[in-house]
Amino acid sequence: MTAATTPAAPAAPVPPVRDARDGGRARTRAGWARGVRLALLLAFLVVFLIPIYVLLVTSFKPLTEADPSRAWALPEVWTFEPWRVAWEKLAPGIVNSVLLAVPGALISAVLGSMNGYVLARWRFPGADVLFTLLLFGMFIPYQGVMIPLVQLLVKLNEITEAVTGAQGVFYGAIPGLLLAHVVYGIPICTLIFRNYYVTIPEELIEAARVDGAGMLRTYRSVVLPVSGPAFAVVVIWQFTSMWNDFLFAVFLTGPQSWPTTVMLNNIAGAQTVPYSQQMAAALLASIPTMVVYVLLGRFFMRGLMAGALKG
């Protein structure tokens, strides 16, 4: 390395050749270190998987095996009964969650894409300051807006009822929850798209501009066609956070519109529900996001990293 940076230097001194025994010992030590690292990583792997083992094993146990002494044992008789009961109890919540998370993720992605495009490539004076103000919205604890948000949604209910006669459209219903998730998702979605779009070469955009293409035209013909990966990241991110959210749901929805998490919490909080059903319900509630994670983990990771504000 030093030789490469100082080409003028005369022939570099030949590095002393390590004697063979010495090299062998160094190799053994490196091998040992690798072995120890692998062993530690495996130990942590086992610890990380304990909760999953418990969830799976317990969810297949019949009620007759509920005795504490068999808590960690495999079921003697495997049964799907807890899963069947959990599905019956959880199904309405899962339907609500799908109605929330699928359209919510798509709307979020469209908004984020437009905002990110402008903030990265069609900038206006003061864009940096506004962007920072936007980002603060990503970190606020939602408790700080919850009471006014409830009041606003109640007001929207009254207005829609006066205009259309429909009752309870926003507060206590899916559209209200969807509105909240989309609005509070704007900062992170904008951030992900902005960081993606700054990697599009400026010349491409300029070329389109010179050809006389306006903002929307440039977006449609230059930016949108290469946006696939960013859309995947945002859709997955928003789907996961909407599916897993509990705070907004518990404040903004009612029995008819409870999503999966609230229903799961009600099932698990009831003293009378056996562990096997609780754990089957917890697994059932996690299947969609787990499937997304297993199939599209790469994109999920990128969303996570954007949360760390790393471009």
Residues between 49 and 68 that touch other proteins (CB under 8 A): 49-51, 54-55, 58, 68
Residue 116 CA to residue 51 CA, distance in Å, equals: 39
Which DSSP category does 77 fall into?
S
Provide the minimum distance between the beta carbon of 165 and other proteins in the complex, in angstroms, as a whole number. 26
Q: Which of 12, 224, 290, 295 binds other proteins (CB under 8 A)?
A: 290
Q: How far is the CB of 88 from other proteins (least distance, A)?
A: 17
Q: Examine residue 101 and tell whether it contacts other proteins (CB under 8 A).
A: no
Is residue 41 close enough to count as binding other proteins by CB under 8 A? Answer: yes
Q: How far is CA 309 from CA 23, 43, 153, 156, 210, in A?
A: 44, 32, 31, 34, 33
Using CB under 8 A as the binding rule, the residues of this chain from 177 to 196 that contact other proteins are 180, 183-184, 186-187, 190
Residues facing 172 on adjacent strands: 253
In whole angstroms, the minimum distance from the beta carbon of 114 to other proteins comes to 5
Distance CA 93, CA 87 (A): 10
Q: In terms of Cα–Cα distance, which of 179, 198, 9, 10 is closest to 100?
A: 179
**Interactions with other proteins, residue window 218-247 (CB under 8 A):** 240, 243-247
Residue (136 or 165) nearer to other proteins, CB: 136
Contacting range for other proteins; rule: CB under 8 A; set: 156-164, 166-174, 225-233, 289-297: 289-297
Q: Which is nearer to other proteins, 165 or 202 (CB)?
A: 202
Q: Which is nearer to other proteins, 102 or 114 (CB)?
A: 114
Stretch that binds other proteins, among 87-95, 158-166, 214-222, 226-234 (CB under 8 A): 214-222
Q: Are 238 and 180 in contact (CB under 8 A)?
A: no
CB of 10 to other proteins, least distance (A): 19
Q: How far is the CB of 24 from other proteins (least distance, A)?
A: 18
If you write DSSP's letter for every residue of 213-269 in order, what string do you get? --HHHHIIIIIGGG-HHHHHHHHHHHHHHHHH--HHHHHHB-TTT--HHHHHHHHHH
The alpha-carbon radius of gyration of the chain (Å, integer) is: 27
Which amino acid makes up residue 32? Answer: W
- Hey, what are 88's tokens? 């019956």
Please report, as residue ranges, which positions from 130 to 149 form the binding site for other proteins (by CB under 8 A): 130, 132-137, 139-149
98 binds other proteins (CB under 8 A): no
Count the helix, strand and coil residues of the chain and give each as a percent rounded to the nearest 5.
75, 0, 25
- CA angle 215/186/164 to nearest 5° reads 95
Residues 249-288 that bind other proteins (CB under 8 A): 250-251, 261, 264-265, 268-269, 275, 278-279, 281-283, 285-286
CB-based contact 299:233 (threshold 8 Å): yes
Number of chain residues interacting with other proteins (CB under 8 A): 94
- By beta-carbon proximity to other proteins, the closer residue of 230 and 281 is 281
**214 part of the interface to other proteins, by CB under 8 A:** yes
